[in-house]
C-alpha cells in the first residue's frame, strides 16, 4: 500500500484532493498545519508528500527542507 501525506489547511480543498486521490491502494493522511505534518512524518514514512505553501503556522517548503536534511 502506498502512503501519501497531504498538507492542506483549507478544509474543503483538502477533502476534495483526498477524495480525488482515494483508491484501495493508497492510504492518505491529511494534516492541516505544519506541526501536524511534522508529527506525521516523525511517526511514519510516506511515498509522496503534497504540501501547501501557505499554512497558519508556516510553509510546506519548511517541511520539505526538514525532510531533505534528515534524509541526507
Give the pLDDT confidence of 5-39 residue by residue, as tens digits.
Answer: 999 999 999 999 999 999 999 999 999 999 999 99
Q: What pLDDT shows up at residue 70? A: 86
Phi and psi at 23, nearest 5°, equal: -155, 170
CA 9/CA 30 separation, integer angstroms: 9
pLDDT of residue 71: 79
Name the average pLDDT for the chain.
Answer: 94
Q: How many whole angstroms separate alpha carbon 51 and alpha carbon 69? A: 17
Q: For residue 55, what is its C-alpha cell?
A: 499554512
What pTM does this model have? 0.91
Tens of pLDDT, residue by residue over 36-64, are 999 999 999 999 999 999 999 999 999 99
Amino acid at each position: 500500500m502506498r502512503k501519501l501525506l497531504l498538507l492542506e489547511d483549507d478544509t474543503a480543498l483538502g477533502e476534495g484532493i483526498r477524495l480525488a486521490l482515494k483508491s484501495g491502494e493508497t492510504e492518505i493522511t491529511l494534516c492541516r498545519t505544519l506541526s501536524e505534518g511534522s508529527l506525521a512524518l516523525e511517526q511514519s514514512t510516506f511515498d509522496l508528500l503534497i504540501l501547501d505553501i501557505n499554512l497558519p503556522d508556516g510553509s510546506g517548503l519548511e517541511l520539505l527542507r526538514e525532510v531533505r536534511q534528515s534524509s541526507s
